[in-house]
Structure 1
Amino acid sequence: MELETQTRQLKQHLDRLKARFETEQPPDNKKDKDFFFKVKEETTPIYSILEEWEEKSLDLVKNRKADVHPHQVTSTRENMELLLLHSYYIDVRRKRYMELYKSIHYVFDQLLRELAD
């Protein structure tokens, strides 16, 4: 899959996750196995895209002068992974969640601008 397509897909997932965080209630029991398997099933495809996205993005930013630094790419992957879990378990303050959300969006947008040039 092309890097631009992956980035756009991840942005869509990011927006859906934010909507989930804002509308859903935390699980009654965070150790509930059924809930865990539901989360795993819904997030595994996103983790896969994210992993491939990181590899392709690192290749891009390492092999040419870009406004995005390799560390930003790695941090974005890590932040997105955190956000995935926070979106289901709703176990972080809204302020922290929004900081992660905005940071991820910023790097995705930077990368998309870079790809458009």
Structure 2
Amino acid sequence: MALSEFELKKCEKALDNFLSLRRPPAHIRDEVDLQYRIENQSVVIFEVRPEWQDPSRKMEIPVAKATFVKRQKIWKVCWQRQDLKWHSYPPDPEVKSIEDFVAIVDEDANCCFFG
């Protein structure tokens, strides 16, 4: 089930605030940028970079993912490991709000999201 209109706007506001602080300067965004996508009940933050073999094409590198579980009113926090699968984020596998998720990704205490 997709997010409600209210939840969607709340996500967009929190993620736009996050990106305004974390995105690279405008003059290098062709080389590396940070964006997000909202799909159904999940939010994915990802880097956008040129492909190394064909710089005219862009590739997306996932950074973090949160999925809203409506029944429990929580966000499940995930990071992508080397196996390219999403794994629960060990210190904080669940948070109460999208703002909490953004704060965890921004802090990146275990260097799981940005290395």
TM-score normalized with structure 2 length: 0.30
Bigger strand share: 2
State the structure with bigger RCO (CA 8 A, min sep 6), 1 or 2.
Answer: 1
